[in-house]
Chain A
Amino acid sequence: MTDISFLLIIFFLVTTVFMTTQGILLKLPSPETEPQRLHLDEIILIEMLGPAEYSVNKSILTGVEELARQIEASLETLSDPVLVLMVAGDVAYQEVLKVLEISKEAGVSSFSIQYKESEPRGLRIEEKRL
Chain B
Amino acid sequence: MKIRVRKKSYGVTMFAMPDIAFLLLIFLILTVSVDEQGDINLPDFKFLQETDFPETMVVNVTAEGEYGISGETVDRRLLELTLDRLPETTVIHLIADKESRYSHVDGVLQLLQEKQLLDVVLIMEEVKNTENE
Contacts and interface: CB of A to CB of B under 8 A. Distances in A.
B97 to A, nearest CB: 7
A97 B94 CA distance: 14
A-B pairs with the 7 shortest C-beta distances? A115-B106, A94-B98, A89-B103, A12-B28, A22-B48, A5-B21, A28-B118
Interface string A20-46: 111111111111000000000000000
A94 B22 CA distance: 44
Contact of A93 (B21, B97, B110): B97
> Chain B's interface: helix, strand, loop or mixed, by majority?
mixed
A33 to B, nearest CB: 10
B101 A92 contact: yes
A113 B98 CA distance: 17
A16 interface: yes
Interface in B42-68: 43-52, 61
Interface of A: 1-2, 5-6, 8-9, 12-13, 15-16, 19-31, 48, 87-97, 100-101, 104-105, 115, 117-118, 121
B13 interface: no
B17 A2 contact: yes
B1 interface: no
Residue among B106, B114, B120 facing the most chain A CB atoms (10 A cut-off): B106
Contact of A1 (B18, B52, B112): B18
